[in-house]
């Protein structure tokens, strides 16, 4: 079997292409290693200096400030209402002057019937303008009140956003520095210890190798320290000798937890930290 | 080239890690919720179990006494059973408020909480028009205000104690997780007379010592009784014709027969778990080996043939293996073999000698007597590991298992008087108690739970 020239060129091109691809892959992989080193350097910076690089971009400086737009909008509404009220007041004042002039003319020069009608019309127009001016003034006051309400709301929203941003910043900082991303891991640990210290396990019978049994329970709590539910009950440490005691120990642990509630000494402000905690129970 | 190859290898490993990472992530704790706060606690006898006298709707006379009196006695039997198990210190019935019939099924939980009770056992006795009794018992969780378990029995008046044992069994099982054992019987050797001229009689009784009965009259010495699994007969060793030989005693007909016609001494009898086979030992010309024979008779099968004294112990609960003792190594040690005699293997290697092995009905442990610096009863795993001594007296020996495999009976000999008594100990070794017998007792053998 022989190959013609075109086939030889094709084969050569294919081999050359594969060789090139392999070389690219190898050098590409070298490049990957350098990137890993760069990332490690960033990690060292975070741990050593505490620079919150990964979190500053997430805190929200670049986010729009909705309260500014709201305030501008409210101010514009007030300005518009004020402008309307002012122009209406001017118009009313002008109409009033016209009406007065017409009345004076009618009085002073023993006016004709036509002049009297004109004076009467001018007076009616002046009254209408006064009413419009009063309405415009009322609208201006209302717009001012609305603007004030919006300013107050915007201020409240800003406070809440600032608080959330601060908390998020704290969480991100803890995470970046190797801490927990929980709302407050310390508070949770304290709450676990507080609750664990109040649970008295009673009524568990002795048995062979019962000390190997570990029963874990998630205790879900209400804000007043009472139990809303017990969940995720798991047991480990089962042997052929202690197998019969698994169920009685689970039962007495759950009964004892219920009998120990409500739990005291828990801070309501840390509720998010202890509303659901997991505790392990073990025979000493 | 080598460098490139190593880099490629490293990258392939990294790729593998990436491929596996979802699985790894699933097994990794996701938050600090998985960091345990560990609360430790101690287990002890259950002390807050209240047992008032059983109530009756109206006191009716029966051959066993009136139902009101029976109610009080049943509560006492239950309290005694639970206390004797070593796991409970019940309160009552004496000193505990009597309850009315309506209160049996509607307890005043507030009252019992006020008395610090955590469990309440209540029940009732009612006479039926057919002369039988209805005995019902209830276990309540006082704190939760809920029923935990209940059981009820229709029995003839003379069987009221069995109903009480059954109630105690159901409560014991529910609270400890263990299998029941109170409604069972014990065979033992009743000993009377001075040390040098002991009279040894075969006797049987309930597990609590009640309903005691002598089977033999003491004219010939009886030893090592064993209840058959159906309680209809007892294997035992008798010196009836001067030689120690094994007999089967039929409890109903009160007749007995030799299991083999051999004139050689036979001893250490034991039933197979199904009651179809009898294991025994026979001494022939200074050599003792283990044999088995059908319970219906026939030809014996020799299972061991090593020089020395091999003494049959007992079957495993599945009947497939046998534990026995042998001095073939120079001192008594425990061995295990298949039920056809194959696969013999020594399992005890600790200091001292090991004798009278008995396989637990649960199959997980072997009880034994360790000889060396006294006689002590202990247990080991079936491979010989985990040796634990449960008693520490001058002479404790011959362990026999409760049907649930969690309590062991044995007999104890006093140092100078030689007086013997029957004791039991639970597997923790913490709860030891003497069984009441009308006379001195030895060689106890526990039968199965009665149907």
Would you state the pLDDT for residue A205? 83
pLDDT tens track for B21-79? 433 333 333 344 555 788 999 888 887 899 999 999 999 999 999 999 999 999 999 99
Contact B320, B338 (CB under 8 A): yes
pLDDT at residue A144, rounded to an integer: 86
Of B396, B406, B403, B401, the C-alpha closest to B434 is B396
Name the more confident of A258 and B263. Answer: A258
pLDDT for B403 equals 93
- Subunit contact A206:B87, Cβ cutoff 8 A: yes
Q: DSSP class of residue B208?
A: T
- Confirm or reject contact between B199 and chain A (CB < 8 A): no
Q: Is B47 on the interface with A (CB under 8 A)?
A: no
* Residue among A205, A214, A251 with most chain B CBs within 10 A, to mutate: A205
Q: Do B48 and A202 touch (CB under 8 A)?
A: yes
pTM of the shown model: 0.67
CB contact under 8 A, B37 and A193: yes
Cβ contacts of A240 on chain B, cutoff 8 Å: 364
How many Å lie between the alpha carbon of A80 and the closest alpha carbon of chain B? 55
By CB atoms closer than 10 A (0-12, 13-18, 19+), residue A169 is: middle
**Nearest-by-Cβ selection for A247 from B144, B177, B430:** B177
What pLDDT shows up at residue B8?
44
CA distance A207 to chain B (A): 7
How does DSSP classify residue B33?
A: G
pLDDT confidence of residue B72: 97
For residues B275-286, give the mean pLDDT: 91
- Average of per-residue pLDDT across B231-256: 87
A115-119, A277-281, B166-170, B358-362: least confidently modelled range:
A115-119
Residue B176: list chain A partners with CB under 8 A.
Answer: 205, 207, 244-245, 248
Cα–Cα distance, B194 to A188 (Å, whole number): 72
| Contacts for B69 with CB less than 8 Å, ≥ 6 apart | B59
Those residues with Cβ within 8 angstroms of residue A96's Cβ, 6 or more apart along the chain or in another chain: A126, A129, A130
Closest listed residue to residue B126, CA positions, set B76, B74, B58: B58
Give the residue from B39, B120, B427 with the most A CB atoms within 10 Å of its CB, the best one to mutate. B39
Per-residue pLDDT tens over the stretch A217-240: 999 999 999 999 999 999 999 998
Q: What is the pLDDT of residue B114?
A: 94
Mean pLDDT of chain B: 88
Number of A to B CB contacts under 8 A, please give it. Answer: 115
What are phi and psi for residue A95, nearest 5 degrees? -65, -40
Measured distance CA(A189)–CA(A273) in Å, rounded: 9
What Cα–Cα distance (Å) separates residue A247 from each residue in A204, A211, A250? 10, 14, 5
φ, ψ at B410 (rounded to 5°): -160, 175
What does DSSP say about strands B420-426 and B432-434: parallel, antiparallel, or unpaired? Answer: antiparallel
Determine which of A179, A191, A236, A241 to mutate to test the interface with B (most B C-beta atoms within 10 Å).
A241
Chain B residue whose CA is closest to A212: B40
At residue A174, the pLDDT reads 60
**CA pair distance B131, B157, nearest whole angstrom:** 8
Q: Give the rounded percent of residues in chain B with a pLDDT score beyond 70.
A: 92
pLDDT at residue B5 tops 60? no
Task: Identify from A181, A207, A238 which residue to disrupt to test chain B contact, counting B C-beta atoms within 10 A and taking the largest count.
Answer: A207
Nearest to B430 among A203, A206, A244 (CB): A206
Pick B79 or A153 by higher pLDDT.
B79
Helix (H) or strand (E) run with residue B21 in it: helix B2-27
CB contact under 8 A, A196 and B427: no
Closest Cα in chain B to A283: B41
- Cα–Cα distance list, B30 to A60, B34, B224, B374 (Å): 27, 8, 62, 57
Rounded to an integer, what distance in angstroms lies between the CA atom of residue B258 and that of residue B241?
A: 11
Residue among B11, B34, B428 whose CB faces A206 most closely: B428
Rg (CA), chain A: 41
Query: How would you write B42-73 as a 3-class SS string?
Result: CCCCECCEECCCCECCCCCCCCCCCHHHHHHH
d(CA B368, CA B376) in angstroms, rounded, equals 8
Question: pLDDT tens digit string along B175-185?
Answer: 999 999 999 99
Element (H, E) at B17: helix B2-27
pLDDT tier at A51 (50, 70, 90 boundaries)? very low
- Rounded Cα distance between A153 and A156, Å, is 5
Residue written as token pair 């006020």: B114
Given a cut of 80, whether residue B319 has pLDDT beyond it is: yes
What pLDDT sits at residue A48?
A: 29
CA distance A196 to chain B (A): 6
């Amino acid at each position: 079997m022989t190959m013609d020239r075109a086939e030889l060129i094709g084969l050569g091109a294919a081999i050359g292409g594969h060789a090139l691809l392999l070389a690219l892959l190898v050098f590409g992989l070298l490049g990957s290693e350098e990137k890993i080193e760069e990332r490690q350097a960033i990690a060292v910076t975070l741990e050593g200096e505490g620079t919150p690089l990964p979190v500053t971009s997430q805190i929200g400086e670049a986010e729009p400030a909705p309260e500014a737009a709201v305030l501008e909008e409210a101010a514009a509404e007030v300005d518009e209402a004020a402008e309307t009220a002012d122009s209406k007041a001017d118009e009313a004042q002008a109409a009033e002057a016209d009406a007065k002039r017409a009345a004076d003319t009618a009085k002073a020069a023993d006016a004709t019937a036509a002049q009297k009608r004109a004076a009467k019309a001018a007076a009616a127009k002046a009254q209408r303008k006064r009413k419009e001016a009063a309405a415009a003034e009322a609208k201006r006051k209302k717009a001012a009140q609305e603007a004030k309400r919006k300013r107050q709301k915007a201020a409240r929203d800003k406070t809440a956003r600032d608080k959330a941003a601060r908390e998020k910043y704290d969480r991100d900082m803890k995470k970046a520095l190797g801490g927990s991303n929980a709302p407050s891991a310390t508070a949770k640990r304290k709450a676990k210890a507080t609750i664990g210290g109040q649970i008295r396990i009673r009524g568990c019978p002795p048995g062979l190798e019962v000390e190997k049994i570990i029963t874990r329970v998630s205790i879900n709590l209400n804000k007043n320290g009472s139990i809303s539910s017990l969940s995720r009950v798991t047991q480990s440490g089962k042997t052929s000798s202690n197998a019969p005691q698994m169920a009685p120990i689970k039962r007495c642990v759950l009964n004892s937890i219920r009998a120990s509630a409500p739990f005291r000494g828990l801070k309501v402000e840390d509720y998010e930290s202890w509303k659901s905690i997991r505790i392990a129970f073990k025979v000493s | 080239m080598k460098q490139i190859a190593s880099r490629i290898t490293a990258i392939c490993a990294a790729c593998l890690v990436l491929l596996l990472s979802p699985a790894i992530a699933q097994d990794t704790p996701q938050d600090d919720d998985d960091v345990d706060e560990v609360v430790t606690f101690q287990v002890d006898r259950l002390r807050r179990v209240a047992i008032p006298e059983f109530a009756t709707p109206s006191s009716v006379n029966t051959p066993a006494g009136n139902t009101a009196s029976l109610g009080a006695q049943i509560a006492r039997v239950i309290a005694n059973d639970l206390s004797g198990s070593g796991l409970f210190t019940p309160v009552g019935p004496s000193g505990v408020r009597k309850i009315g019939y309506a209160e049996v099924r509607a307890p005043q939980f507030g009252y019992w909480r006020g008395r610090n009770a955590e469990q309440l056992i209540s029940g009732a006795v009612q006479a039926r028009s057919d002369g039988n009794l209805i005995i019902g018992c209830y276990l309540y969780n006082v704190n939760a205000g809920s029923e935990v378990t209940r059981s009820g029995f229709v029995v003839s008046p003379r069987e009221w104690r069995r109903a009480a044992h059954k109630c105690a069994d159901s409560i014991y099982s529910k609270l400890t997780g263990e299998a029941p054992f109170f409604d069972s019987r014990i065979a033992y050797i009743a000993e009377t007379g001075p040390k040098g001229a002991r009279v040894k009689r075969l006797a049987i009784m309930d597990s609590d010592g009640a309903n005691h009965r002598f089977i033999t009259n003491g004219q010939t010495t009886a030893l090592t009784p064993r209840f058959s699994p159906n309680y209809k007969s007892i294997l035992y060793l008798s010196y009836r014709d001067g030689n120690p030989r094994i007999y089967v005693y039929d409890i109903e007909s009160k007749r007995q027969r030799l299991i083999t016609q051999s004139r050689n001494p036979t001893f250490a009898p034991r039933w197979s778990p199904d009651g179809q086979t009898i294991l025994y030992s026979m001494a022939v010309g200074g050599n003792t080996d283990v044999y088995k024979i059908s319970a219906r008779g026939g030809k014996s099968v020799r299972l061991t043939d090593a020089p020395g004294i091999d003494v049959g112990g007992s079957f495993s609960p599945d009947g497939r293996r046998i534990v026995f003792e042998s001095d073939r190594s120079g001192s008594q040690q425990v061995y295990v073999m298949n039920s056809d005699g194959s696969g013999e293997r020594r399992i005890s290697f600790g200091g001292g000698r090991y004798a009278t092995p008995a396989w637990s009905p649960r199959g997980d442990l072997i009880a034994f007597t360790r000889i060396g610096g006294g006689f002590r009863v202990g247990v080991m795993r079936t491979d010989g590991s985990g040796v634990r001594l449960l008693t520490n007296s001058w002479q404790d020996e011959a362990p026999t298992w409760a049907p649930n495999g969690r309590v062991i009976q044995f007999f104890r000999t006093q140092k100078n008087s030689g007086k013997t008594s029957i004791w039991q100990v639970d597997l923790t070794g913490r709860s030891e108690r003497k069984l009441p017998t009308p006379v001195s007792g030895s060689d106890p053998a526990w039968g199965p739970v009665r149907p």
